[in-house]
Amino acid sequence: MQTLEKLKKGELQGITRLQLSENLTNFPDAIFDLADSLEILDLSNNHLSQLPDDLHRLTELRILFCSNNRFTELPSILGQCKKLEMIGFKTNQIRHVSSASLPDQTRWLILTDNQIEALPDDCGRLTRLQKLALAGNRLVSLPMSMVNCQKLELIRLSANQFAAFPDQLLNLPRLAWLAFSGNPFCINRDPHNEFKTVSFCDLALHQVLGQGASGVISLATWERNAFNFPEEVAVKVFKGEVTSDGYPEDELDACLAVGHHDNLVKPLAKVVETDRSALVMGLIPAHYTNLGMPPSLVSCTRDTFSTELFFSIEKIAHIIEQVDNLVAHFCLRKVSHGDLYAHNILISEEGRVLFGDFGAASKYGNLSLEQQQGIEKIEQRALGFFIDDMLSLCVEKDKVSPAYKALESRRLS
């Protein structure tokens, strides 16, 4: 375990990655002793409000995380760090982001859950930008210069104050994962009276089955089963706070708006109470496994996969056909999933797909026809990336097959 004491004693010399979480109120000068090697610095979960004016002395620094601290502005010194390309300042009290704080080479910028009202007008100079997370701020618009962010692939705008959909995003050639729910221009949440409402007192929660940014999924049984649901169910209890994708209430709304589909985890009922809400779902059979793993610091926006995972082209085609049908279903319901990734897909041994996690989903039926078409084009681009990922898992002997060639024309790499 890395500690400040070990750092001061010189026991961490030569390391490339440093993580310190010790209620720090000041940047430890001893970090500069690592200037020749340090590439990743994580000072999240401290009490920092400033960085030193000579931070650029860390000449190898590529990645900096300072989430859950006390910054009120994004430090301008960041712009002087010649190799810094990934910046994460989630959950601070940042109100101001200056142009000087954004290095030209920025690829990954996470500013979720702050108090930002505007971005610099010259954001369009960030031509390498791929991932931009801005959910949970006070933004009312985006700079028009962002039409120049031609490599942008993922953006999170949920839970802000946008009065209108930012049209400058619609023609970005690589944008594939977009979330914008919880803004004033969005359609109101639906009560979804077609689904039964139950109470937490009706349910007994047992072991945790999984958890994500927006909530915890547990096995549950009924204390009172008034609607003859299966005795064992899964219950996702939402955390009730803004996440990297937006408000949990919008996730519940979008999930119920999509409704039932053979390749979706089955929604059964909802819990809506003053202090928290939940979704009651059918249990997923134990033999289902995750198709992929989330993106890494290296892959940025793209999923990662086990090096031992390979499929026949027939199985790949079957998987893609099911996801195709799902995307068409979303389109019919005017819901953009916003997170069409293999890591959100469960798969059985025979290749049956189950899809879930609507944390980044957004309803768009109230927007103009041109905006709706643009959003659907973005979702189709995510499907193209997914097809590219699936073809990368194809066994070598099938890469000359007609089926592979047919799918290859749809890939987006």
Annotated binding site: 236
Q: Which residue has the tokens 């973005």?
A: 378
Tell me the sheet residues that pair with 246: none
β-bridge partners, 108 = 86, 131
Nearest to 255 by CA among 234, 276, 239, 269: 269
Query: How is the beta sheet containing 86-88 ordered, strand by strand?
Result: 17-19, 40-42, 63-65, 86-88, 108-110, 131-133, 154-156, 177-179
Which of 331, 226, 327, 325 minimizes the C-alpha distance to 280? Answer: 226
3-class DSSP assignment, residue 320: helix
Taking only Cα atoms into account, the Rg of the chain, rounded to an integer number of angstroms, comes to 23
List of residues 6+ apart from 31 with CB closer than 8 A:
7, 18, 38, 41, 58
Distance (Å, whole) CA 205 – CA 296: 32
CB neighbours of 136 closer than 8 A, spacing ≥ 6? 112, 113, 114, 158, 159, 160, 242, 243, 246
CA neighbor of 66 nearest in space, from 20, 35, 104? 20
Q: Which amino acid does the sequence have at 343?
A: H
Binding region for ATP: 236
Torsion of CA 131, 367, 379, 214, to 10 degrees: 60
* Contact partners, residue 34, CB within 8 Å, separation at least 6: 7, 12, 13, 14, 15, 18, 58
Residue tagged 């003053």 (tokens): 274
Give, in order, the Cα–Cα distances in Å from 30 to each of 78, 218, 333.
Answer: 19, 44, 55
